[in-house]
Every structure is written in C-alpha cells, then in structure tokens.
Structure 1
C-alpha cells in the first residue's frame, strides 16, 4: 500500500480570517488505524472481535462491518436472524452515540452542572446499546427512549427540545445569520458502494485518508439521511442539530417495530469479487462505514482496510471545509463557532482548531 506522511491522531482545522470573512480554511486528516498491521496473519474468524475492541466509538458498527466483510470473503450467507440482530444493534448504537456526542463533545465547560446532570441518562443509553445484541424485547427500546427523553430529545413531530438539548438548540440558533443552510449538497448513497469498493481494492492510503468519488467529495451521516426534512430557515448549525434529533426519533421508531419501516434502507451491504475478498458497507451513526478484507487459503488475514465516515466529512476539500468557507465570522467567539460547527459534523476524533488573523494586503 502506498504511504502517507506521519499524521496526528487529531484532525487539524486551521482558519485564516480577514475582518469577519474566512480567507482560508484548511483541514489536515488524522492518522489512520493500520488494520492490516493489527490483523495480518491472524485468523479472519477473530477479526470482528479484535476490531470491535480497538474502537471505542461505534464499536458495534465496526464489529458488524468486519463480520459482514469476512462472511462475504468466505462466501458465507447471512441468516435473516443475524441481519435482524445487526439492525437492532445499529439503531441502538445510533441513539446512544448521538446522545454521547451531544453531551460530551459539545463545546463548553465540561463541568457545567447542566451537562453533568444528564450523565446518568447517558450511561443508561450506552449500557443499553452495548447489550442490544443480546436483547430482543421491549426493554431495549424503553431504556433508550427514557434516556433520550431525560436528556431532552424531541421524539415527536412538533415538539421542542428540552433540558440539555434545549441548551444546544439555543447555541445553534444564534449562528443562523452567519451560517445559513444551503440547499446545495452531495451525499454518499448505497449506489456508490461499487465505486468505493473498486477504490479500496487499489489499496491506496491516500484514498483512505482523503476519500473522494470521481468529481465528488460527498458527505455522509444524519444530515444526509434527513436532509429533505430539515428546516432551512434556522441556519446550518440548527439544521444539523435537527438532523440529529430526527435520527434519534427514527431509530427509536425502528426499534419499536417488529418489521422494517416503510422505505427503510439496508443498514449492511456486503459483497465479494472473488474467493478470499470481502467488502462491507454499514450505515453507522456517523454515516457510511466501509471495511475490506483479503484472506488467504488458510483463513488468515493478508490485508484489511477501514474507511470511516469522518474521512469523507473532514476531507481537505470536503463538506466541513466548504461549510466553514461559506460562513462569516463576525461572532463574539469565533473559536467556539468553529468548534460547534465541527461538533455537528460529529468526527470520531478530536479537532485541533487554530485561528489566524491575516493582515490586509
């Protein structure tokens, strides 16, 4: 595989401002997890468990993507019962991860009593999501709904956020003037799976760090899933927060049903072009997650690549940079604005934000 220069585990975000205008916005991708180094020579059957233990965020999505990719490489069919279990785990993780990101990653004082008051509800949601693979009853839905309600998520159409989510909603609304919500967007879709699969087969490290489709640098995640239903008049940040609310409500609705929702898309797509090669695309909380594996005749892993949603959304020419470049920075706390916008793209890594004031020519 081609190599990239050494990178940080954080995403670099550098903004150059002239007066109240963004003169330049630059994103430096984070360092990638070298899954081949971790798994090379190990039995493919153990890959899902190991992968699931490496990632603290979206661990269920990572494990499911690995299970699906390995099964495709070994030409093993996926029973309906397993697919339903995956569905349950993915929707549960979607709710828990949105609550976790909203409570722990939102900019501001981490010791704020308003934030701390909701930690017990978050712990309840995380515990329920971790047990989702073993539960197939109403207790999973009940625990997650209770946690989301306690934190203040609006679970019904027409309801306003309360509690912690009301604080976030006010935060986001204050930036409506400087960051309007555009109707112009390009999103990853299941139909892009073949193109991504083809690119991953080339085993190019640059694609893993800076993925793009021919002529496109697309976005993935809650904003993409619910874009058609968002309010444009509240500004970009509030619209993105609304997408998170809708994603939580949709996932809870899905968990309450014994059959798929009308129009529900496949959460897991897997395929193989030859024996020993497998590819999986999973609709994780943050967006489409891709795994690809190569296995030798003895059942050992010889190559393994992971492409996460963060790499699409924080591509150096991607949706976050484009959104940032289109904003005005005539706000009292420009660093907080940039941090809030980044949080609403929900990266699975920290952002190292640097602001520079450029001199007039």
Structure 2
C-alpha cells in the first residue's frame, strides 16, 4: 500500500518589538482511515497498522484491537491485557529513549555505541504487541540500564559531565521568556468525552480536538505534573527533558519488576453501543485514541484515531500558549530557543519553523 500524506507540521512565529505576537500552526495531514478501510474486515487491518504508523505502532495495534473487541462486546483475557500493557510500556520506553538521544546529541564513539546498544535492547522490548519472555525482558532492561549508565544516567540522576547534562544546560538559556499559563492536562477521565466526539464528528474533531473549548496538554511532562500535583510546574524545555529522564528510569524499574507502576490506565477500552467501541492507550507522547464502528459481519463502517500530537500542536494548544506573548532574544539566539521549545514537545513528525515580522507579508 502506498500512501502519500504531508507528514510535517509547519510553524510560523510572528514577531513584534522583541515579543512573539502570534504563532500559526499548519498541522500535518492524516490518513482518512474510514475512507481507506470501509467495508474491510476489522481483523485485516492489524498487519497494515505498522505500515501506517511507524512510531508507536504497538500502541496503535493495541488501541485498534481493544476498540474492536469493545465494539464486538468481547473482553480480552487477563493474560492478554497484561501482555498488551507490557508491550505498550516497553514501546513507550523505547520511544522515549529514541526521542531523547537520536538526532539530539553530538556523541563520542563510546556514547554512540551506548545509544546503539540501548536502541537494540529497546527493539527487543517494544518491537511487537506480543509479550516478551521474562528472561529476554530482564536481559534487555539490564542492557538499557548499562547503556544509560555509560551515558551518565543512573536512575533519575544525571552526571554533570555527561553530554545530555550539557545539552539540558543549553535549554536553560534565557533566549525565550515564556509567560505563566494555567496548565491543563488530558486524563483518562476525559476518555469517554473524547471517543464519543471522535465517532460522532470524525476528522472534523480529530484534526482539531477540544474539551469544552479547552485544548489540554498530554505526554511525559503532563504525566509528571499530574503525578507530582504541582500547582505551577516548571514548563521549560530543560524541565520537559528531565521529565523524560525520570520516566525512563521509572519504566526501567517497572519492566525490571520494581515497585514503580506506570501501568495504571495504560490501556482502557469502552463499549459505546452495538458494534461501536473505542480504546485509549497512554503512549510515549501522550494519550492515543482509536474508535470504530462495525457492521454485523465485523467489517469497518467507521474508523477514527486521535494522536497526542493533535492536542499539543493544536492551533490554540499547549505549544502556542507556551510561545505566544514570550519575550525573545534577537537573532539566532532567540530563534534557536524557540526551536528547542518546539522540540521539547516531541512531535511524532518533523516540523518546519519560520519567523516573520508582524505587519510584513
């Protein structure tokens, strides 16, 4: 299957008198799932999903399968649910490692070898929706921990001399001074509202979602802020990267059989009526939704999905709120600070960034 979509987010930052006056986002285009798969047996889509979603493909498979089961009125066995949660958590760890290191740091030979070792182990853990045997899982987690130690990360502690610590230090550059904004986070309590709208309104909702007019943030930083219950959590790029490091440590501990448990609400499914079901999966970048409607022969009538990127990079969403009204340093320093902020939201696709002076076409 050959599918061509514009898989990039275009961001235009409008400047006026040393301040960001406005931020315009042109979202990516997304595959029209209902149009592509209407009339096809639901089971036939499972091998296709990894080709459509190269990132978080396991999360998409689990979300789709869970939504279909809910639509059919079936419940997965306890063992199947546990296996799916394990696969989702393993993939979340792999994706967080990839987004933290790959393409971000200039590493020496030893550091590059550690990243390769870490990603190889991550593929063992998160490369399939099937559960990984315990012995293989423990070996892969041990390999990741050893690689992280070589890169200067022990638990949630970051060695001051590490390349990652040096990079995070640059994220604290005051080239961008963001205004204080009241945080709003997407949670499992919002699931039913989201999936009901998703099935009712389709792409009109999934392209620009909202909750009573609000566009909450989802992802690593949102999970950490909710967990710590901070009234005004620091939202700088450095704080967001530190949240990734903390979650990587937590996920390693969970996969290694420790007490930390990130699996609550990792996978949830909802029956919305005869032949209608939905699921939510907490993946690396936030909460992912799938919703389906099936006919009597279990063929697709309606299939919609909503990824975390559509919340965080909404035209009125968290990124825009973080940038609009900010004071920005002149020239390349300010522009690089904006780029670092955009990157800290970890979009699941590439992005282009353009700066313009307000009042100029």
TM-score (ref. length: structure 2): 0.87
User: Structure 1's 89 and 7: CA in aligned 2 closer, same or farther, altered over 3 A?
Assistant: closer
Q: Paired residue for 1:124, among 111, 120, 123?
A: 120
2:69 corresponds in structure 1 to: 71
- For 1:147-186, list aligned pairs within 5 A: 147-156=147-156, 158-160=157-159, 163-175=162-174, 178-179=176-177, 182=180, 184-186=182-184
Give 1:296 shift.
Answer: 1.1
Count of matched residue pairs: 350
Task: Map Cα deviations across residues 157-177 of structure 1 (whole Å, 9 max, x no partner).
Answer: x544663422321221224x7
2:133 is matched with: 136
Displacement of 1:203: 2.9
Task: Give a deviation string over 1:54-74, Cα, whole Å, max 9, x none.
Answer: 211111111111111111111
Check conservation: 1:95, 1:248, Cα contact below 8 A.
Answer: yes
What's the CA shift string for 1:103-140, capped at 9, x where partnerless? 2353x88x997985554134324422215734231223
Q: Name the structure 2 match of 1:52.
A: 50
**How far is the alpha carbon of 1:199 from its aligned partner?**
0.6
Q: Residues 181 and 234 of structure 1 are in contact (CA less than 8 Å); yes or no, is this contact kept in structure 2? A: no
Q: Is the 8 A contact 2:121 2:141 kept in 1?
A: no
Say which SS state the counterpart of residue 273 (structure 1) adopts.
strand
Partner of 2:201: 203
Q: CA deviation at 1:294?
A: 1.2
Q: Which runs of 5+ in 1 are unaligned?
A: 1-5
**Do the aligned residues in 2 keep the contact of 1:173 with 1:234 (CA within 8 Å)?**
no
Aligned with 1:187 (options 185, 188, 193): 185
Change (3 A) 1:300 1:268: same
Q: Is contact 2:11–2:23 with CA below 8 Å preserved after alignment?
A: yes
| Residue 40 in structure 1 maps to residue 38 in structure 2 | yes
| Cα distance between partner residues in 1 of 2:79 and 2:160 | 36
CA distance in 1, matches of 2:195, 2:235: 35
- Secondary structure of 1:292's aligned partner: strand
Distance 1:7 1:325 in 2: 29
Query: Pairwise CA RMSD of aligned residues?
Result: 2.9
- In 2: Cα distance, 1:161 partner to 1:65 partner: 39
Specify every segment of 5 or more residues in structure 2 that has no aligned partner in the other structure, as ranges: none
Tell me how far apart the structure 1 counterparts of residues 68 and 289 of structure 2 sit (CA, whole Å): 12
SS in 2 for 1:13: strand
User: Structure 1 residue 318: deviation in Å?
Assistant: 0.3
On the 8 A contact 1:154/1:162 being kept in 2, the answer is no
| Native 8 Å contact 1:7 1:29 kept in 2 | no
Q: Given that residues 216 and 318 in structure 2 are in contact (C-alpha distance below 8 angstroms), is that contact kept between their aligned partners in structure 1? A: yes
Which has the larger displacement, 132-141 or 44-53?
A: 132-141
1:294 maps to which residue?
A: 293
Deviation at 1:295, TM superposition (A): 1.1
How far off is 1:270 after superposition? 0.4
1:319 lines up with 2:315 in the alignment: no
- Please state whether the residue corresponding to 2:209 is helix, strand or coil: coil
**Higher mean displacement: 286-295 or 328-337:** 328-337
Whole-Å separation in 1 of the counterparts to 2:90 and 2:253: 11
In the alignment, what sits opposite 1:278? 277
Q: Normalising by structure 1, what TM-score?
A: 0.87
Structure 1 residue matching 2:171: 3-state secondary structure: helix
CA distance in 2, matches of 1:214, 1:319: 15
Higher mean alpha-carbon deviation, 97-106 vs 51-60, is at: 97-106
